[in-house]
Amino acid sequence: MERFVAIGDAAKALGVSITTLRRWEVEGRLVPDRTVGRQRRYDLAKLKPELFHAAPQERKTIAYARVSSHDQKEDLERQKQVLELYCAKQGWTFEVIADLGSGMNYNKKGLKRLLDEIIDGKVGRLVIAHKDRLLRFGAELVFAICEAKDVEVLIINKGIDTTFEEDLAKDVLEIITVFSARLYGSRSRKNQKLLDSVRQAVEGAC
């Protein structure tokens, strides 16, 4: 559609007569531009801006995978494969974002990018293998953001995550490591003894 049109097309677009447009021009209510030859030209982008709005961009599907530590890289690859297979079977064009880090906090590059894209309105669907793969604590907040931004959330396996105990133990150990390092110093014998005791307890519980 042409943006600058003659008086007849402008009248049709606005649903008024040519006479009305001429009267508006005399009254100063709607003054058209003029060509070199003094012909009237009306800017439809100003008169009918909805006609020139870009079509809404299709929002993407993002599949998110996460594990807590480096020794779980094989599990991360399995998660990604499950997500890729699921999305492909649905016929979706999708993107996989993967994180390697604790589920106890938001300080992960992939999660931050995911949240940024959701808030920017670029995501229409979020797919995760388990609820706990998103965050161990705080997943409900992310789900609330998704709901506010009209993002569909699909959890493939709503049962218990088979690595819950292992991941939770690793997350707890990470928290204790941080706090004990602040209290006693990262290299102190007292700190190391505490961590060894906690690690043994964790391994025994698992």
Q: Is 64 exposed, middle or buried (0-12, 13-18, 19+ CB in 10 A)?
A: buried
Segment 89-130, tens digit of pLDDT: 998 999 999 998 876 667 789 999 999 999 999 999 999 998
Residue 137 structure tokens = 């604590």
Contact 25, 65 (CB under 8 A): no
Distance CA 68, CA 164 (A): 10
Local structure of residue 62 (DSSP, 8 states): E
The residues spanned by each domain of the chain are: 4-52, 60-155, 164-205
CATH tag for 60-155 (out of 1.20.120.1810, 3.40.50.1370, 3.40.50.1390, 3.30.1330.10): 3.40.50.1390
Q: Is-catalytic flag, 17?
A: no
17, 68, 69, 186: which one is catalytic? 68
Predicted confidence (pLDDT) at residue 174 exceeds the cutoff of 60: no
Amino acid at 9: D
Q: Say which CATH architecture domain 4-52 belongs to.
A: Orthogonal Bundle (1.10)
CB atoms within 10 A of CB 24: 15
Estimate to the nearest angstrom the gap between the alpha carbon of 95 and the chain centroid.
11
The confidence score (pLDDT) of residue 166 equals 58
Whole-number Cα distances in Å, 179 to 169, 176, 189, 201: 16, 5, 15, 17
Judge whether 4-52 and 60-155 match in fold: no
- Work out the pLDDT band at 77, boundaries 50, 70, 90: very high
H helix or E strand, kind and range, residue 144: helix 139-148
Amino acid at 110: G
